[in-house]
Structure 1
Amino acid sequence: MPLEQFQAASHGIVESIETVIDGKRSAVVMALTVLLAEGHLLIEDVPGVGKTMLARALAQSVGSSVTRIQFTPDLLPADITGVSVYNQAEREFEFKPGPIFANIVIGDEINRASPKTQSALLESMEERQVTVDAHTYPLSTPFTVVATQNPIEMEGTYALPEAQRDRFMVRMSMGYPDAEAEMKMLRDRATARPLDAVTAVVSNEELISMIATANNVHASRSAEQYAVSIAHATRNHPGLRLGASPRATLQLMRAAKARAALDGRAFVLPDDIDALAIPVFAHRLIPASRSSSGGGIGVATSIPDIISRIVAETPVPLEPATGA
């Protein structure tokens, strides 16, 4: 897909989502960036700020198959992946696919399910396949999980394990709307549900083409080295017990390419990497000591500060971003 057509389509998706989500352009663009980078998105915030609404609006704005999983403490892994059922007529077992078999899977309140159930997503999120009863089934293309979770301080929540968090390309929060956006929400939703009017802006085939366009954005060797340098700095930082994984570096570059394409560029700039370093890295890192953080809020604020300092101290490459 030509870059001009890509931009027109992406603007249409953003405008479609913004008919439902008011005053959150940065969150909308970030969600689209993850989708175009073939990543998975984790939206963490307090109840009632539009986490699920954003996920549903994104899903309805593209013509792809969509399923929703409501995570609860009694949800079982088979409720996600599917189960083999004995067919008496055929005298053999028949696989009944679960809701994971869709292009966009909305996982609502993922951290209300047990760690055993959360682990059912590990294979599908990384390998784009599901193994049930020794049989492997490929998932649809594209495949993206958009999960929401409440802060771990909320009652009835389980912290996501490190392996699970590392499979999410980006973790972001919504935040409260400003007064003007909240007033508009009161008027628009007094007698109607804006989500009901959201229709697909692009087909699934067009979305696949957009993903290919984003993936083909040029990343120079110096830009790649810049991303690697930031990742290595997190692994050697005295304030961190666990740094960014190689998967995190790979996802940072994929997200940077999608961001460049959304900005109308065919090449990655260091600014793309700088802007995405915190959303891509923060949820994967573990501080060296939790004693001074209070266990929750302090950790969330201190790690972005460390990443910001690392980015500021990492030399910016001098080679032209367009490369040779």
Structure 2
Amino acid sequence: MATLSAAVLVSSCLGLVGAAANVPARIDRYLATKDQAEHNGITLQAAMSAPVNIVREGPRSFIDNPLRYDYEAAFNALRAMEPRFVVGSSLEMATFIFFPAIFFIYGCSLAVADLRQGLLSQRLELEGSKAVFIGKVATSVTVPMVAVPLSTAILSGLAIMMRVFMKPAGSENFPYFVEYSPASSNPVLQATFSVLVATSFCLIGLFVGAASRMLLLPSLACVLVLMILPFVGGGDPRNLMATIGRSVFNYWSGFNPNAPLPAESWLLWVPTVVLASTLGVGSFTIWVRRSKSS
């Protein structure tokens, strides 16, 4: 548990550090764009009074109002370090990049821990195979609910100190307030979503580990799928996760996952639900049958 909590804290800290590093980078880019725009006779006031759109022409795209776009990006980057928004800033990258792999590996290791320690037969004799499996499922659900909020609370305190040093660096450059969507800036919703992602991958890891009784190969396969393989369609679980993430996170930290494929229809959830159900039932069946011969 201590190792897992440390991994969650470090991964969230990387997200927070990335958000902090994004602030001066965004401000510098905005100031450079402002200088160029003023050289061309475009004032900030004029840019802020005009809409900003991303225009797509075939495979290419361009921004029709770059000054306002960069102003808002820099404004939001600085705002991302405020205490009420820092939960999302620290969880954006971790939720999509680190948590799936970390909790899959933890779930998988939880499934094979007794076998590796030579305690499986004793536990099965004392508790029964079904009780042992259910206990591992309960642990897989409980641990993310503790580790993720605890890490978030620690980083929120750290962000308050970081904000003290950042505020003088850029707040005077922004005379115009930028509106935002409260729906995508709710820290409770963001933390809940991160816990659900962590719990889902922890359970998947548990099921895979229980069925295969292996740790290394499933873990390597998980990292390969998460980090390398592209989305295979709108119903890809990773794509569904990214689709939900668009309405949960605001991506002010500089991290922005690849634009997900269309996944608006509820029918696209059917393969994921079927796969998860089959994996859970199948691994339980394999666990019970193998345990009788252990």
What range describes the TM-score normalised by the shorter chain of this pair? under 0.3
The TM-score normalised by the length of structure 1 is: 0.21
- Greater fraction of residues in helix: 2
TM-score by length of 2: 0.22
Structure (1/2) with the larger strand percentage: 1
Larger radius of gyration: 2
User: Relative contact order (alpha carbons < 8 A, sep ≥ 6): 1 or 2 greater?
Assistant: 2
